[in-house]
Every structure is written in structure tokens, then in C-alpha cells.
A and B are shown apart, each in its own frame.
Chain A
Amino acid sequence: MRLWHWINAASILVLIVTGYFIGSPPPTMIIGEAYEQFVFGYIRFAHFAAGQVLLIAFLGRIYWAMVGNHHARQLFYVPFWKADFWQEVLFELRWYLFLEKEPKKYVGHNPLAQVAMFFFITLGVTFMVFTGFALYAEGAQEGSLTHDLFGWMHGLTWNSQRMHTLHHPGMWWIVIFMIIHIYVAIREDIMSRQSIVSTMISGHRTFKDDRDD
């Protein structure tokens, strides 16, 4: 779990930086003749490699959701029809809006976090993997495995320029998630009744008091 989190963090960071540069290339560097330098090539290579790592890690995570405990599955569904789940989401919202004095304790994600994770990471990463590999399939060309698996995506947009335009906001979607994610994690670590940041590193959840809920 922790390994997955940090592999994700690293690959997403690489993907965001290189992805931004692919969309808006850095100023021209003239180190030598074109055959002597491969700057943009390396940027793209890093983007593709990190994308592959992210996909493998994501598949591994799905496998873990299937064999792991119910916390492992939190990422992949939202109990949409359960009223008390939404009540707890509301509670968490009130906590973040300074309307509740004390937060509750959770071993896994809190309900609001679960909703956020589902929309930002599960749907966000899936979207980026599909559009990203569809774009990669263009370079890999027809007949390649990537093209066989993801080439059909182009049947949905028809013009690959549209696919690019869809891939861009996906990045910002994940950037926005990162900002909130990091802020909330640190804030919760300080203000809530459970450990967050140290849990991400050690894997153990510790509570700051022994009261129930």
C-alpha cells in the first residue's frame, strides 16, 4: 500500500512535469547538432516510462483491491445508496467548514476522502491512462499491442488533437487533487485525532486519544 502510494507520487510528479513540457516545450537548447542532443526525446521517454509504471502500479492496486481487505476496496467504489455514508460525508464537510468541533476517527479513509479519492484518483488516473495510452498508440502505430488495446479510443474522438485537448485538463485535475491532498493530509495530522502523514510512511494508524469515535 505505502509502496504503491509513493510509486504513484513519484510517477505522477514525473508525468506532470514532463507532460507540461511536452505540451509547452522548454526554450530551444542548442547544445550541438540535432544528432548530438536528445533533450525532448528524454523528456518524452520519461513521460512514457512513468506512464507505464503508473499503469502497472494501478493494475497491481486493482489486484490488491480484489484480494485485500475492505479498506483496499475503498478507492474503487462509493456506497452511493447508503444514507449514513452521506451523513458522514456531510459531517466531514462540516468539520472542514469549521462547523464541527471535533473530527471522527477512521482506520481507513474518511468518507469525504473516499469520495475525493474515487473521483480524483480512480476516475482521474483511469482517464489519464486511457487517453495517454491512446496517444502513445499513435507513435507505437497500428499492429502494436498498445494500439490493439487502446487504439479504439481514437474511434471516439476521431481527431487526435481532440484527444490531446482532453488529456491536458486531466493533468490539472490531478494537480488540484495534489494541492488539496497534501494540505489536508498535513492539516489532519496536526488537527485531527489520528495520524495521517506518519501512517503514509509507516503504514500504522495511531490515534491521539482513546475515546470512542
Chain B
Amino acid sequence: MSQIETFYEVMRRQGITRRSFLKYCSLTASALGLGPSFVPQIAHAMETKPRTPVIWVNGLECTCCSESFIRGAHPLARDVVLSMISLDYCHVLMAAAGHAAEAAMEEAMEQHHGNYILAVEGNPPLNEDRMFCIVGGKPFVEQLRRAAEGAKAIIAWGACASYGCVQAAKRNPTQATPVHKVITDKPIIKIPGCPPIAEVMTGVITYMLTVDRLPELDRQGRPAMFYGQRIHDKCYRRPHFDAGQFVEAWDDDNARKGYCLYKMGCKGPTTYNACSTIGWNEGVSFPIQSGHGCIGCSEDGFWDQGSFYNRLTNIKQFGVEANADQVGMAAAGVVSGAVAVHAAISALKRAQKKTQDKVEG
């Protein structure tokens, strides 16, 4: 693969005529509010700009990100993989295996040094000499560091690469570490979720190809266009929340009526994602629509925030399984008791003093 195809070549290969291509360019120009003089410029860019090479590496993960990605419908994952990007290395999707696969990666890294996008699924474990994840005979973290060197930008797929996910849940025996703590000198786009929504994954890639820059990121490095709002803010059950109508038990009448799942521990109010707007599986549904609360899978440390079915996280620092309100109420009870005892002693003391004063006076 000496020369990468340009967008134009890909379009021609897919049976689009030059006439249609030029029509597309002028349509794009007018859609963007540009004059006719821009049409040849757009055509020129499409004719000369090579597809963006992408190297996709997998660390400690479950491949649910890849599974989600290949179900992308808008745009179709097929179009993304076959025509928009040049996926040069990807365990899950590539035909090559073993030495051939590793050789393809070496070649791609060399050829497109400084230009390729590195997509990371999963994270590197650093404990026990980093031996918990081996790729091509070497610890995964070495592959990651090497691939990151020449990358233009890094996409951290899923909760694993973004925050650590289940393998980094408390105790974290393998010391699984999110990408941004290993690679600190490259722009990293986090696409958290377990897995992320397919359309979000393909959407971010499309955006980066179309306007040739990184999407606007929020404070944690997630694209604001998909992670700017809470699930709660766009939830179709929100009116029931504001009305104070909640599902009280999984099999009650309120559950059948589709009331708010807040009391069942829905994490929608603390989770930033696009589930309630884009939906899953081509917009068919999303967890809350199916009658189960959000578990907050796109948030940092979501495995460590207590039960999926409780809004109040247990505080384990006190050595017992209790949430903030139970601890608080117990403390308030103890203080009230102490106050009552203190008041009683005060009254006794005062009575004593009075009799004493009487005797003395």
C-alpha cells in the first residue's frame, strides 16, 4: 500500500460519476454558504486529500467498543471503515494475523508518522511488570507508547481507555491505568461508555475527517456535542421526575406507566451521555426507555459508586455498609442523646447549686 486513496478515488470506486461528484461539491459549497468560486477548491481538496489513516489498538478490554462500532448506522460502519478512514491496524477487523498484522502496523506508523489517528480500546495494566496484557509478545503499554509517538491525536474508546472501567475498580489488582495517565503529550479525546454509542463513535470520526480538527472537548476531554448534557436533562421521563411520580418497585403500577426511575437508583442525573437523544441500535431504545435505570457507565469510576439501584453511595470509610444519610442520621441521633444527657446533668447541677446557695445564704 504505497499510496492511500483520496476521497475522490473512493467515491469513484463506489460508482459515483465525476458529474455527480462535482454536483456534490457545489451542493456542499452552497450548504456552507460559500460562493461558486469555492466549488473547485472543495473539489480540489477531495481529489487530493488522502483518507486519514487510523491505527486501532486493543488493551485490557472486552471488545464491546468494537462490537458497538461495527453496528454504527449513521454513517454506516462499513462506509467509515471502507471509504472514510484507512484502518491500517485493528485486531478485530483486519484479515491479517500474527507477524503480518504487526508488520502492517509498523509500516503504517512509519509511513504516516505524525498524521495518523490512534484509536485505543481498553487500557494498559502496569502491575507485575505490565505482564497482564501482552500484544505481539510484548506488554501492551509498550505498543501503546510506540504507537502514540507518531500519532496526530488519540481517541480513547470506552470507559476502559477513558477512566479504567471494571478492571480498574477499587483494589485494581492489575493496576489498569487509563490512557491519559500513560500518554500525556498528545491530544486525547475520551469517548466514554461501556460501550459508547455506535453513532457517537462514528460521529466523532466523521467530524474529525470533515473539518480536519478535534471536536470541542469538555473539562474531562469528552466531545461536548455528545457529552455536553446529562441523560437526565433530555430524558423523556423527566416530566414524571418534576411531578414527583416515581417507580417505587420494579413490578408496581408506576413502572408499567413509565414513571421516573430516580428512586430505583437511575444514574441519569449524574451521567453525561447522548443515550436519551440518540438512543441505541439505530435509535430503537435506551436503558431508561426499556424500564431500567441508567447505570452511569460513561462516568469516571462508575463501578465504585455503590449499587446500580441506589442513588446514595455507601461510605465505606466508617467500616460499615452505610450511606451518607444513615451515617448522618446516626451521628445526629448520638448528638441529640448527648444533648439530652447534658441537659439533665445541667438541671441537676443547677438544683444542687440552688440548695447550696440557700444553705450558705
Please tell me if the beta carbons of A161 and B230 are within 8 angstroms of each other in the complex: no
Contact with B along A135-175 (1 / 0, CB 8 A): 00011011000000001101100111111110011011101
Contact with A along B331-361 (1 / 0, CB 8 A): 1100110010011011001100100000000
Q: Which of A28-43 contact B (CB under 8 A)?
A: 28-30, 34-41, 43
A-B contact pairs, 19 of them (CB 8 A): A20-B325, A29-B245, A30-B245, A34-B245, A37-B244, A39-B244, A40-B241, A98-B345, A138-B230, A158-B300, A161-B267, A161-B270, A161-B305, A162-B313, A168-B312, A171-B328, A172-B332, A176-B332, A187-B346
Q: Which residues of A have CB within 8 Å of B233?
A: 139, 141
Please tell me if the beta carbons of A142 and B218 are within 8 angstroms of each other in the complex: yes
Contact with A along B273-303 (1 / 0, CB 8 A): 0000000000000000000000010011110
A-B contact count (CB 8 A): 139
Please tell me if the beta carbons of B328 and A38 are within 8 angstroms of each other in the complex: no
A151 to B350, CA, bound (A): 53
Please tell me if the beta carbons of B305 and A183 are within 8 angstroms of each other in the complex: no
Closest CB of chain A to B79's CB: distance in Å? 31
B181 at the interface (CB under 8 A from A): no
- Cβ contact of B299, chosen from A28, A30, A160, A176, cutoff 8 A: A160
Query: 6 new A-B pairs (CB below 8 Å) besides A36-B243, A173-B328, A187-B342?
Result: A35-B243, A142-B218, A160-B270, A161-B305, A164-B270, A191-B346
A168 to B312, CA, bound (A): 9
Closest CB of chain A to B189's CB: distance in Å? 16
B143 at the interface (CB under 8 A from A): no
B315 at the interface (CB under 8 A from A): yes
Q: How many residues of B contact A (CB 8 A)?
A: 53
Please tell me if the beta carbons of A161 and B296 are within 8 angstroms of each other in the complex: yes
Chain B residue nearest to A37 (CB atoms) is: B243
Q: Which residues of A contact B (CB under 8 A)?
A: 20, 23-30, 34-41, 43-44, 96, 98, 101, 138-139, 141-142, 151-152, 154-155, 158-165, 168-169, 171-173, 175-176, 179-180, 183, 187, 190-191
Please tell me if the beta carbons of A179 and B335 are within 8 angstroms of each other in the complex: yes
Query: Would A172 and B246 be within 8 Å (CB), given that A23-B311, A161-B267, A161-B313 are in contact?
Result: no
A187 to B163, CA, bound (A): 53
A40 to B329, CA, bound (A): 23
Q: Which 9 A-B pairs have the closest CB atoms?
A: A172-B328, A168-B324, A39-B244, A40-B244, A41-B242, A158-B300, A34-B239, A160-B270, A34-B243
Q: Which residues of B have CB within 8 Å of A25?
A: 244, 246, 262-263
Closest CB of chain A to B164's CB: distance in Å? 11
Please tell me if the beta carbons of A38 and B242 are within 8 angstroms of each other in the complex: yes
Please tell me if the beta carbons of B219 and A98 are within 8 angstroms of each other in the complex: no
A164 to B270, CA, bound (A): 9
Closest CB of chain B to A1's CB: distance in Å? 26
Please tell me if the beta carbons of B343 and A183 are within 8 angstroms of each other in the complex: yes
